[in-house]
Amino acid sequence: MLDPPEFRKNAHEVVDWMADYLEHVEKYPVKSQVTPGEILRQISEEPPLIGESMETLLKDFQQVIMPGITHWQSPNFFAYFNANSSYPSLLAEMLTATLGAQCMIWETSPAAAELEQRVMDWLRGMLGLPEHFVGVINDTASTATLCALLTAREVATQFAINREGFAGVEKLRVYCSGETHSSIDKAVKIMGIGKENLVKIVTDPSLAMNAARLSDAVENDLASGCKPLAVVATLGTTGTTAVDPLRKIAEVCKSHQLWLHVDAAHAGTALLLPECRWMIDGISQADSFVFNPHKWMFTNFDCTAYFVKNPDLLVRTFEILPEYLKTIPRGDVKNYRDWGIPLGRRFRALKLWFVIRSFGVNGLQEKIRDHISWARELSKEISANDSFELMAPVPLNLVCFRYKQKGPETSLDDLNKQLLFKLNSSGKIYLTHTRVHGRYALRMCIGQTNTTRQHVKNAWEFIQATAAEMAVSG
Ligand code: PLP
């Protein structure tokens, strides 16, 4: 067991290591270059019977663990969507870990509950969401979407499924586009309506949901005796950041009284910019909305902001009140344990508070605006280059493109797979891929906290040079 002086000494060393790491993160290969099992083989098969020194642990952390880390905080990380950190967020996480508070009910840390309430209100205003939305922090967007669909299920069946199970309930149907994130498929499986009842609506050439086809699908289902339940509209799909037409979808939901859940896991952060709020035209009709500050808003994973129009419905879906949790009645304080799936809750509001106050709204906007404008610049460069092709519109900070050579369409898929492999094995940058209308495309997301315009330019030059080398070596 460490004693207080030892803890102080080790903590100082760790903080120094953290500062050095972040300052020099570019020296590491962005994507970990280890092979499967390489780390596992170095970890003792049995736990130690006698405690080891912190020196030994920290040495092993450097030697065994670090080679197996992919560096999400590298400014050359352009893969997936970001999972950003920032100095204020890190400091808050250190405090949260130190307090070790479990913030399930108001009494177990009143400051956590009241800060959560306040920062969720701040976020609602910062994103231009409707005043009637009320927010709660979740771990992930997957959880928030599950909460949304469970609430929709209970509301549509007058809370009968919670009470009696599914006996006698018609086929419940949920709708989303074919480009929607897999967390919706997972939520539908968990909520028990059967994954065959998730209806994937075709998309337009822009890869956004076709609202007319949604309307047709709902009407067909009604005609065949199914019960349409909810629609999930995505703002910023994972593949290409396509934006579903919210107002038109909202009209379909309104005419059939369907729950409208909006998944803006990544793109929600762009709503900090008034010029991006065209995406939420029609939002006042939505029943629930989710976005992840832990993606693009410089807040350490995990931190998801979930907003609902009617918190009473959410609470009614999840509320269970055993004797040992009975405290002050709900009307007086917010007991967030009733607002979602887990009972235990981390103190996540602190890092959001630190991030928002340290950057300021203007500081956050500036960064997001830069990312979007660098993505646009890159997309223009790609369009102007005969050896490359832009594969999808670039409404935000994600650029999908591919390398072109003469040859059949299918050979381009392989060519781009090879290019991606070469780029990522270099350790210099990290990109991922998607399929756009069935064709293999590289995805480059420009959104890391410390990425500069120069990083984007360097990455683009490196991509062109690597592709040119492939052309020469044939
Ligand atoms: N929705 C969209 C559009 C996403 O892109 C993602 C993840 O990238 C998710 C949901 C899932 O997010 P989480 O990992 O927070 O569950």
Q: Ligand 1 pocket check: which of 72, 84, 142, 432 to mutate, most ligand atoms within 8 Å of Cβ?
A: 142
**Same domain, yes or no, for 447 and 377?**
yes
Q: Ligand 1 pocket check: which of 80, 84, 180, 183 to mutate, most ligand atoms within 8 Å of Cβ?
A: 183
CB 379 near ligand 1, within 6 Å: no
Can you say how many angstroms the Cα of residue 268 is from the centroid of all Cα atoms in its chain?
9
Give one word for 168, left, alpha or beta, with left for phi > 0 and alpha for psi -120 to 50.
left
Say whether pLDDT at 99 is over 70: yes
* Segments forming the whole domain that contains residue 306: 101-346
**Average per-residue pLDDT for the chain:** 96
pLDDT for 303 equals: 98
Residue 224 sits in a domain of what CATH number? 3.40.640.10
Please give the distance, rounded to the nearest whole angstrom, from the Cα atom of residue 269 to the centre of ligand 1: 13
pLDDT for 302 equals: 96
In-domain check, residue 85: no
Task: Read off the pLDDT of residues 251-305 as tens digits, 9 standing for 90 and up.
Answer: 999 999 999 999 999 999 999 999 999 999 999 999 999 999 999 999 999 999 9
Residue 404 sits in a domain of what CATH number? 3.90.1150.10
Can you say how many angstroms the Cα of residue 396 is from the centroid of all Cα atoms in its chain?
15
In-domain check, residue 364: yes
**Same domain, yes or no, for 326 and 455?**
no
- Contact between 151 and 110 (Cβ < 8 Å): no
Q: Ligand 1 pocket check: which of 238, 279, 295 to mutate, most ligand atoms within 8 Å of Cβ?
A: 238
**Which SS3 state, helix, strand or coil, does residue 227 take?**
strand
Residue 10 sits in a domain of what CATH number? 1.20.1340.10
**Same domain, yes or no, for 298 and 180?**
yes
CB 238 near ligand 1, within 6 Å: yes
Say whether pLDDT at 442 is over 80: yes
Residue minimizing CA distance to atom 5 of ligand 1: 238
In-domain check, residue 77: no
pLDDT for 474 equals: 63
Of 70-79, 105-114, 137-146, 451-460, where does mean pLDDT reach its minimum?
105-114
Across 422-429, average pLDDT: 97
Which ligand 1 atom is at minimum distance from the Cα of 143? 16
pLDDT for 331 equals: 62
Q: What distance in Å separates the CA atoms of residue 84 and residue 376, rounded to the nearest whole number?
A: 21
Residues near 455 by beta carbon (within 8 Å), at least 6 away in sequence: 75, 76
**Same domain, yes or no, for 287 and 237?**
yes
Task: Give the alpha-carbon dihedral of 368, 371, 438, 71, to 10 degrees.
Answer: -100
Q: Which residue has the tokens 């419905």?
A: 313
Smallest CA-to-CA distance from 355 within 57, 72, 126, 20 is with 126
* pTM reported for the whole predicted model: 0.96
Residues near 176 by beta carbon (within 8 Å), at least 6 away in sequence: 184, 198, 199, 200, 201, 209, 231, 232, 233, 234
**Same domain, yes or no, for 240 and 367?**
no
Domain count along the chain:
3
Using alpha carbons, list the distances in angstroms from residue 198 to 180, 191, 193, 211, 241: 11, 11, 9, 16, 21
Please give the distance, rounded to the nearest whole angstrom, from the Cα atom of residue 412 to the centre of ligand 1: 28
Task: Read off the pLDDT of residues 198-257 as tens digits, 9 standing for 90 and up.
Answer: 999 999 999 999 999 999 999 999 999 999 999 999 999 999 999 999 999 999 999 999
pLDDT for 341 equals: 95
**Same domain, yes or no, for 294 and 340?**
yes
Residue minimizing CA distance to atom 14 of ligand 1: 140
**Same domain, yes or no, for 341 and 368?**
no
Q: What distance in Å separates the CA atoms of residue 175 and residue 59, rounded to the nearest whole number?
A: 51
CB 262 near ligand 1, within 6 Å: no
Q: What angle, 0 to 180 degrees and rounded to 10, lies between the N-to-C axes of helices 311-318 and 141-156?
A: 90
In-domain check, residue 454: yes
In-domain check, residue 42: yes
**Same domain, yes or no, for 241 and 321?**
yes
CB 434 near ligand 1, within 6 Å: no
Say whether pLDDT at 329 is over 80: no
In-domain check, residue 415: yes
Can you say how many angstroms the Cα of residue 285 is from the centroid of all Cα atoms in its chain?
23
Residues paired with residue 174 on neighbouring β-strands, in sequence order: 198, 230
Beta strands across the sheet bearing 398-403: 388-390, 398-403, 439-445, 432-436
**Same domain, yes or no, for 149 and 285?**
yes
Please give the distance, rounded to the nearest whole angstrom, from the Cα atom of residue 264 to the centre of ligand 1: 8
Beta strands across the sheet bearing 227-234: 134-138, 304-308, 288-291, 259-263, 227-234, 172-177, 198-201
**Same domain, yes or no, for 336 and 384?**
no
E-strand stretches of 226-293: 227-234, 259-263, 288-291
In-domain check, residue 354: no
CB 183 near ligand 1, within 6 Å: yes
Q: Ligand 1 pocket check: which of 82, 177, 181 to mutate, most ligand atoms within 8 Å of Cβ?
A: 181
Which ligand 1 atom is at minimum distance from the Cα of 81? 8
Q: What single-letter amino acid sits at 432?
A: T
**Same domain, yes or no, for 246 and 336?**
yes
Please give the distance, rounded to the nearest whole angstrom, from the Cα atom of residue 263 to the centre of ligand 1: 8
CB 265 near ligand 1, within 6 Å: yes
> Of 52, 69, 86, which closes a domain?
69
Task: Read off the pLDDT of residues 103-120 as tens digits, 9 standing for 90 and up.
Answer: 999 999 999 999 999 999
In-domain check, residue 229: yes
**Same domain, yes or no, for 366 and 327?**
no
> Of 47, 69, 91, which closes a domain?
69
